């Protein structure tokens, strides 16, 4: 299959592909998604094939108008209404009991469905033209999520019908996922909307243990995506928790032939390896924005090792921590 590269004026071409059951990668404010008609089970099954994604990992359904949610869920409780009114459109996904209209391919056999209303105007226009869209991140399963059309092409060329090039994604990490299907709201995946922001709107909110810790052998994942190795470049990621001096010292004494450091802007010319800047020290938003592109850049340069600063677990830092600790196989070098 020849993958078309469309621009923002060709969204109607993309919508026609979706209506025929095809797959289109679309920009969102978080990462690029791989979209299909959410109500067409066969098209949704093709997403799993194109990504090499395990069939037991459910997809998010994207809407572009709150009124679209009513036929997709059985309940739209007060807390969900409050979150939607405050954070939609934006990088928040809400899990609710699903309606019968949701194909099993979307929910992977669960009784719930994840719903998100993205902020990106291209995604919104595509949804308005083609209806609700099921869309995971548009990477090959396991590799870092794509934050540009070039990343999508690098993983998906020849596997999908088209990609709409909408430039670089603003947030850079995937949406916050919260479940309201249990008694107490619980964050399953941290993202651009922080736990602190959510608590201001709905009060008590838990953070699932799997956000920061590996699952035990016999533990079930609340969010199936958490149990898979994720966000990994080909290079071995070494996550370092220590002072900037200790970080530099560790890299100076390491004996890897081809290594890269995800460094602060201030460190750029000072480390004896390929320096890939991820923003100013302490700027969690910049770290989130640059993280996946930086991991991909290390691979493009055929690095075998990537050193990274351990982010804080506060605010958007928690989203960065959640991604990078998985990329590092949950190992942290404490100096
Ligand atoms: O920002 C985003 O959320 C991006 C853009 C494209 O919208 N999408 C995205 O989708 O990251 P994906 O499939 O890569 O991640 C969705 C996560 C997975 O970890 C999945 O297991 C979880 O959400 N999920 C989806 N439906 C669920 C459900 N009903 N119950 C629990 N977890 C669910
Ligand atoms: Mg993903």
Ligand closest in space to the Cα of 58 = 1
CA of 145 to the centre of ligand 2 (A): 6
**Number of C-alpha atoms within 13 angstroms, CB side, residue 176?**
31
Nearest CA, atom 6, ligand 1: 33
* Phi, psi of 183, rounded to the nearest 5 degrees: -65, -50
> Does the predicted TM-score (pTM) go above 0.95?
yes
**Closest ligand 1 atom, residue 32 Cα:** 6
What three-state secondary structure class fits 332? strand
Residue 224 is predicted with a pLDDT of 80
**Closest ligand 1 atom, residue 222 Cα:** 31
| DSSP letters for 250-312 | HHHH---SSEEEEE-GGGTTTSSSEEEE--STT-HHHHHHHHHHHHHHHHHTT-SEEEEEPPP
Which residue numbers in the chain have pLDDT < 70? 228-229
Q: Which two tokens stand for residue 192?
A: 């651009």
Nearest CA, atom 7, ligand 1: 33
Cβ neighbours, 10 Å, residue 131 = 17
CA of 37 to the centre of ligand 1 (A): 16
What's the Cα-to-Cα distance from 94 to each of 46, 116, 289, 296, rounded to whole Å? Answer: 24, 7, 22, 29
| DSSP letters for 39-68 | T-HHHHHHHHHHHT--TTS--EEE-SSGGG
Residues contacting ligand 1 via CB (< 6 Å): 28, 30-31, 33, 57-60, 91, 93, 95, 107, 110, 112-114, 116, 118, 135-137, 174-175, 177, 188-189, 223-225
pLDDT digits (tens, 9 = 90+) for 74-92: 999 999 999 999 999 999 9
What's the Cα-to-Cα distance from 289 to each of 43, 57, 148, 283, rounded to whole Å? Answer: 30, 25, 11, 10
Q: Which two tokens stand for residue 314?
A: 């506060």
Residue 207 is predicted with a pLDDT of 97
Nearest CA, atom 21, ligand 1: 225
Residue 226 is predicted with a pLDDT of 74
> How many helices and strands, by DSSP H and E, does the chain display?
10, 16
Contact predicate 310/294, CB 8 Å: no
Where does residue 291 rank: exposed (0-12), middle (13-18), buried (19+ CB within 10 A)?
buried
Residue 228 is predicted with a pLDDT of 65
Ligand closest in space to the Cα of 189 = 1
- Give first-to-last CA distance, the chain, whole Å: 50
**Closest ligand 1 atom, residue 188 Cα:** 32
pLDDT digits (tens, 9 = 90+) for 164-192: 999 999 999 999 999 998 999 999 999 99
CA of 117 to the centre of ligand 1 (A): 13
**Closest ligand 1 atom, residue 116 Cα:** 7
Residue (of 329, 5, 297) closest to 158 by Cα position: 5
What three-state secondary structure class fits 321? helix
Where does residue 78 rank: exposed (0-12), middle (13-18), buried (19+ CB within 10 A)?
exposed
Residue 229 is predicted with a pLDDT of 65
Helix (H) or strand (E) holding 241: strand 236-241
- Cα 147 from Cα 298, distance rounded (Å): 15
**Closest ligand 1 atom, residue 171 Cα:** 1
- Residue of 35, 149, 225 to test ligand 1 pocket, by largest number of atoms within 8 Å of CB: 225
CA of 174 to the centre of ligand 2 (A): 7
Name the one residue in this structure whose structure tokens are 């209303």. 117
For residue 236, the cross-strand partners are 305
Residue 278 is predicted with a pLDDT of 97
- Cα 176 from Cα 327, distance rounded (Å): 18
Domains detected in the chain: 4-211 (3.90.870.10), 236-334 (3.40.50.11030)
């Amino acid at each position: 299959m020849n993958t078309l590269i469309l621009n923002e004026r060709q969204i109607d071409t993309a919508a026609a592909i979706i209506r025929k059951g095809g797959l289109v990668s679309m920009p969102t404010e978080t990462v690029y998604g791989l979209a299909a008609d959410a109500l067409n089970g066969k098209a949704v099954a093709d997403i799993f094939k194109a990504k090499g994604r395990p069939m037991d990992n459910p997809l998010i359904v994207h809407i572009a108008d709150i009124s679209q949610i009513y036929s997709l869920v059985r309940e739209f409780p007060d807390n969900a209404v409050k979150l939607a009114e405050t954070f939609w459109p934006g990088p928040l996904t809400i899990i609710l009991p699903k309606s019968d209209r949701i194909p099993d391919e979307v929910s992977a056999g669960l009784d719930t469905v994840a719903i998100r209303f993205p902020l990106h105007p291209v995604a919104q226009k595509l949804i308005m033209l083609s209806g609700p869209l099921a869309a995971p991140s548009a990477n090959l399963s396991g590799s870092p999520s794509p934050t540009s059309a070039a990343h999508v092409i690098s993983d998906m060329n020849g596997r999908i019908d088209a990609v709409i090039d909408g430039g670089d994604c603003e947030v850079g990490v995937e949406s916050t996922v919260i479940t309201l299907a249990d008694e107490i709201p619980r964050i399953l995946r941290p993202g651009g909307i922080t736990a602190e922001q959510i608590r201001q709107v709905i009060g008590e909110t838990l953070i699932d243990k799997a956000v920061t810790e590996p699952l035990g052998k016999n533990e079930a994942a609340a969010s199936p995506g958490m149990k898979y190795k994720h966000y990994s470049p080909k290079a071995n990621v070494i996550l370092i928790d220590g002072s900037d001096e200790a970080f530099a010292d560790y890299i100076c004494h390491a004996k890897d032939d081809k290594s890269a450091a995800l460094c602060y802007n201030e460190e750029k010319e000072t480390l004896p390896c390929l320096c890939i800047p991820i923003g100013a020290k302490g700027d969690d938003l910049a770290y989130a924005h640059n993280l996946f592109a930086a991991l991909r850049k290390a691979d493009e340069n055929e690095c075998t090792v990537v050193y990274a600063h351990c982010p804080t677990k506060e605010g958007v830092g928690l989203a960065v921590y959640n991604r990078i600790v998985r990329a590092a196989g949950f190992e942290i070098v404490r100096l």
